[in-house]
């Protein structure tokens, strides 16, 4: 879907301005960090988010969503790739941020 990078940039600005997120990158992709740890990033044309097990199971019910598999053949269990939907990107981004925050001691 064309224009999804603009939607990601808008989402990223919202998380940076209204929450405790900062800019980051992973695998050469633009991302979002909380307390120095990546919780979401843009993998054209999808949003990739780190989620707890229950949220991964819920997210995988969304049409087009899949576990993130950067190398092909070994999906990352906590990371899901979500097709563009403004509300879902925000909701899962927020869940990802809260999950990653909970892991930081």
22-78 per-position pLDDT tens digit? 999 998 999 999 999 999 999 999 999 999 999 999 999 999 999 999 888 899 999
Q: What is the DSSP letter of 62?
A: S
Helix, strand or coil, per DSSP, at residue 61: coil
Q: How confident is the model at residue 2 (pLDDT cuts 50, 70, 90)?
A: low
- pTM for the structure as a whole: 0.93
Residue 66 and residue 77: Cα distance in Å, rounded? Answer: 10
Structure tokens at 34: 């909380």
Residue 46 and residue 36: Cα distance in Å, rounded? Answer: 22
The answer to whether 47 and 93 have CB atoms below 8 angstroms apart is yes
């Amino acid at each position: 879907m064309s224009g999804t990078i603009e939607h990601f940039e808008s989402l990223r600005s919202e998380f940076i301005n209204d929450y405790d997120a900062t800019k980051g990158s992973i695998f050469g992709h633009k991302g979002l960090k909380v307390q120095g740890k990546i919780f979401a990033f843009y993998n054209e044309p999808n949003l990739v988010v780190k989620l707890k097990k229950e949220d991964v199971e819920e997210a995988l019910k969304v049409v087009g969503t899949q576990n993130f598999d950067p190398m092909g053949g070994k999906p990352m269990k906590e990371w899901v790739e979500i097709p563009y939907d403004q509300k879902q990107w925000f909701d899962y981004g927020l869940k990802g941020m809260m999950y990653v925050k909970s892991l930081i001691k």
